[in-house]
Amino acid sequence: MQQLEPLIARCRDLVEDLDLANVKAWKAAHPRGIAIGYLPIYAPREIVHAAGGLPVGVVGAGEELEIVRGDACFQSYICHLPRSVIELALTGRLDVLEGMIFPSTCDVIRNLSGIWKLSFPGKWTHYLDLPQNFEPEMGGVFYRRILHEMYAELCAMTGLAPDTECLRASVRLFNENRRLVGDLYAARAAEPWKFGAKDSYLVLRAGLVLPVEEHTTVLREYIQLCKARDVRPLDNARIALRGAFCEQPPLALIQTLERAGCYVVEDDFLPMLRWPSADVSEQGDPLDALVTSWLATPCEAASRFVKDGSEKGCTLVDSTREAKAEGVIFATPSFCDPALLDRPMLQAALQRSGIAFTSFKYAENTGQMQPIREQAGTFADSIKLWGEA
Ligand code: SF4
């Protein structure tokens, strides 16, 4: 088993490596394999894996990359993520990917998929229209056809024949990985002083580029090593973070929250690693199982239709209580319409439940953390002093 610091350092290297050396190494070791990128917030990674591919999460470039060409493709009043994805691609950093999946998260990603198709006509590009109808005979039939086609197209690229057993084995691997991700969240909520928010995030995010089998091992080791740590708890405020499900905040922002006296005990970073929230069935037809799990999963998100508007916010209230968070911080990418349009409904649900909240915006390359530190610190202090902000 690795020691904690080298393990976290390795994850950080993976997260900060915009040239995807790890993906290149995987391809060198798997000459018939393909690397397929996917945008936030959800893609069925099992399909790529079963076809002999490496699913690679692409969530932007963070703080490190100067955006030059990316800005030329988009107007100024949208979020930062599509610019940095285009910048990564136009500077050759995504050449290692044979294809890209663009889920129907929002209009920005839809438009990004169009720009991608025009810019890289030779690459396999799939716009993943996730159903917003959750009836098996309607949305289910539609989604199964999409998954079936995607699996066939990916298999054609690798030369493998679509195979039920292969797909079931992939489902099993990703189920195991998601269980470990759930264990990490539960362990961090129980003893947040042993699991730093930034370190946990790095370990989770490494899962976007590591093969699933390897990431599962990393998660298992990280949880064991953290649990065994001898660390004294501080009188910090326990907070849930919401709004960062797509464009990711800079690492410095997560660290700033910790330094401001917050234990992040729940968040919505990287939903692709947590969805579906329950195991995909390992019995019967695996495509049907993936469809059923997507239709049934109670994941509430800005990009997922909720039939009755009054239900918005129930999941946030439940997950906040389950993690024993004392307040919610809405940390939202600038110009992220889905998150910002959802927020009034979520705030109303928190108000009805007597849960304190505050909010601010960020961009993945946000540099100035002092105002965020002051706001988060004041929020944490007010929770500790008066029980609500
Ligand atoms: S950050 Fe928000 S607006 Fe931007 S691509 Fe993601 S969901 Fe869409």
pLDDT in tens, 215-269: 999 999 999 999 999 999 999 999 999 999 999 999 999 999 999 999 999 999 9
Residue 387 has pLDDT above 90, yes or no: no
What number of other Cβ atoms are within 10 A of residue 41's Cβ?
Answer: 25
Q: Can you tell me which atom of ligand 1 is nearest the CA of 106?
A: 8
Pocket test for ligand 1, best of 41, 109, 303 (most atoms within 8 A of CB): 109
pLDDT band at 307 (very low <50, low <70, confident <90, very high): low
Measured by CA distance, the residue closest to atom 2 of ligand 1 is 336
| Burial class of 52 by CB neighbour count within 10 A (0 to 12, 13 to 18, 19+) | middle
Tokens for 54, please give them: 């490496």
Residue 389 has pLDDT above 70, yes or no: no
The residues pairing with 327 across neighbouring beta strands, listed in sequence order, are: 239, 356
Residues 321-372 have pLDDT tens digits of 999 999 999 999 999 999 999 999 999 999 999 999 999 999 888 777 888 8
Q: Can you tell me which atom of ligand 1 is nearest the CA of 105?
A: 7
Residue 276 contacts residue 44 (beta carbons within 8 Å) = no
Residues 21-57 have pLDDT tens digits of 999 999 999 999 999 999 999 999 999 999 999 999 9
Residues 199-218 have pLDDT tens digits of 999 999 999 999 999 999 99
Cβ–ligand 1 distance for 103 under 6 Å, the answer no
* Calpha distance 322→186 (Å, rounded): 9
Tokens for 62, please give them: 């963070």
Residue 363 contacts residue 247 (beta carbons within 8 Å) = yes
CATH architecture of structural domain 17-162+234-389:
3-Layer(aba) Sandwich (3.40)
What percent of the chain has a predicted confidence (pLDDT) above 90? 83
Query: If you average pLDDT over every residue of the chain, what do you get?
Result: 93
Q: Domain segments of the chain: what residues? A: 17-162+234-389
Q: For position 46, what pLDDT does the model report?
A: 98
pTM: 0.95
When mean pLDDT is compared across 125-139, 200-214, 275-289, 364-378, the lowest value belongs to 364-378
Residues 52-69 have pLDDT tens digits of 999 999 999 988 888 888
Cβ–ligand 1 distance for 58 under 6 Å, the answer no
Q: What is the arithmetic mean of pLDDT over 142-146?
A: 97
Residue 83 contacts residue 73 (beta carbons within 8 Å) = yes
Handedness of CA 179, 81, 262, 193 (dihedral sign): positive
Residue 11 has pLDDT above 80, yes or no: yes
Residue 117 has pLDDT above 70, yes or no: yes
Q: What is the arithmetic mean of pLDDT over 144-149?
A: 98
* Calpha distance 282→142 (Å, rounded): 21
Cβ–ligand 1 distance for 290 under 6 Å, the answer no
Pocket test for ligand 1, best of 77, 81, 110 (most atoms within 8 A of CB): 81
Cα–Cα distances (Å) from 134 to 231, 295, 296, 298, 372, in that order, read: 45, 5, 8, 11, 39
Pocket test for ligand 1, best of 75, 108, 110, 343 (most atoms within 8 A of CB): 108
When mean pLDDT is compared across 70-74, 106-110, 374-378, the lowest value belongs to 70-74
